[in-house]
Amino acid sequence: MKLLLTLASAAALSAPTRLPALAADKQLKTIFENNRRWVREEVKKDKDYFNRMASGQSPQILWIGCSDSRVPANRIMGLDAGEVFVARNVANQVIGTDMSMMSVIQYAVNVLKVPHIVICGHYDCGGVKASMENVDHVPPLENWLRNIRDTYRLNRQELDRISDKDQRTRRLVELNTLEQAFAVFKTGVVQRRRVQTYGSDQEPYTQPRIHAVVFDPGTGELKELNVNWKQELDKLGPIYNLYAPETAEARAERLGDGGAAAAAPPPVEPAKKKGLWGRLRG
């Protein structure tokens, strides 16, 4: 009865048919029907929609999120196709030896030149919860979860003080998200672009800007984590900095405009006091 009611409601709203039909659909006909309906509806709203899609992409955001099916990037940000470049894996990890993630970041930063990178964790994350169990989830998953166990160790003092397990898990979700945002800052490709765009006439702010956010599947809310980036980057900088801001002379040479660029104040003046990463926050 419940199934019939669900299907009837879905039909009445003319929405794509959901799980009950999909589960029984051996050829997954449902998704192709949904696809044809979607194409019809988009063209009805905007006849040039797919012509525009065919002409290429220039997304403004690289989204790094969890594979969890409840966290669809475009949908929860209210953005359309073509607006978000997406990388997802279990518990939104940014690991320096993960060639897939590193390639995504490289392409997004160097080729698409995205001005924003959003790292999104989410409450009720199965990966984070699994990492809090003293259980072998067997490779390769257990190797992957080890990275989150390391984040727990780095923040053990704070986490162990939280007696409520759910609250402790939620906090680890946030700390894991922050740690992955720091990992984005650690990459050479991001540092290089930030040094290049620091004080640039071409860009309104240093790019890419990094945002650590958490999504709550239970409420639908997406919130930005409260981070003192300056303080955090000053701590990370001495260890992880790979690039120094270029001198005025080097900048002039690169831009091929000796007079004007060399006359501009060097972008590195406040460096010694504030620390490189603090100044590059943008």
Which range binds Zn ion by CB under 5 A, 5-13, 124-132, 219-227, 271-279? 124-132
Q: Which of 122, 251, 279, 281 is catalytic?
A: 122
Residue corresponding to tokens 């794509």:
16
68 is a site residue for Zn ion (CB under 5 A): yes
Residue 70 known to be catalytic: yes
Site residues (CB under 5 A) for Zn ion, limited to 243-262: none
Edge-to-edge strands of the sheet including 61-66?
A: 84-89, 61-66, 116-122, 209-215, 222-224
Q: Which of 125, 251, 279, 281 is catalytic?
A: 125
Query: Would you say 68 is a known binding-site residue?
Result: yes
Q: Which residues contact 181 (CB under 8 A, 6 or more apart)?
A: 119, 210, 211, 212, 227
**For residues 92 and 196, which CB has a smaller minimum distance to Zn ion in the complex?**
92
What is the per-residue binding string for Zn ion in 99-118, x denoting contact by CB under 5 A?
Answer: --------------------
190 is a site residue for Zn ion (CB under 5 A): no
**For residues 93 and 191, which CB has a smaller minimum distance to Zn ion in the complex?**
93
66 is a site residue for Zn ion (CB under 5 A): yes
64 is a site residue for Zn ion (CB under 5 A): no
174 is a site residue for Zn ion (CB under 5 A): no
**For residues 171 and 230, which CB has a smaller minimum distance to Zn ion in the complex?**
171
**185 in Cβ contact with 232 (< 8 Å):** no
Residue 216 known to be catalytic: no
Query: Would you say 122 is a known binding-site residue?
Result: yes
Residue 146 known to be catalytic: no
Q: Which residues contact 245 (CB under 8 A, 6 or more apart)?
A: 195, 198, 199, 267, 268, 271, 276, 279, 280
CB of 217 to Zn ion, least distance (A): 9
Residue 66 known to be catalytic: yes
Residue 193 known to be catalytic: no
Which range binds Zn ion by CB under 5 A, 43-51, 120-128, 242-250, 268-276? 120-128
Q: Which of 18, 37, 70, 211 is catalytic?
A: 70
Which range binds Zn ion by CB under 5 A, 8-16, 122-130, 185-193, 246-254? 122-130
Q: Pick from 61, 104, 119, 125 the residue near Zn ion by CB under 5 A.
A: 125
Closest CA to 183 of 73, 76, 87: 87
Query: Would you say 120 is a known binding-site residue?
Result: no
Q: Which residues bind Zn ion (CB under 5 A)?
A: 66, 68, 125, 127
Annotated catalytic sites, by residue? 66, 68, 70, 122, 125
Residue ranges of the binding site: 66, 68, 122, 125
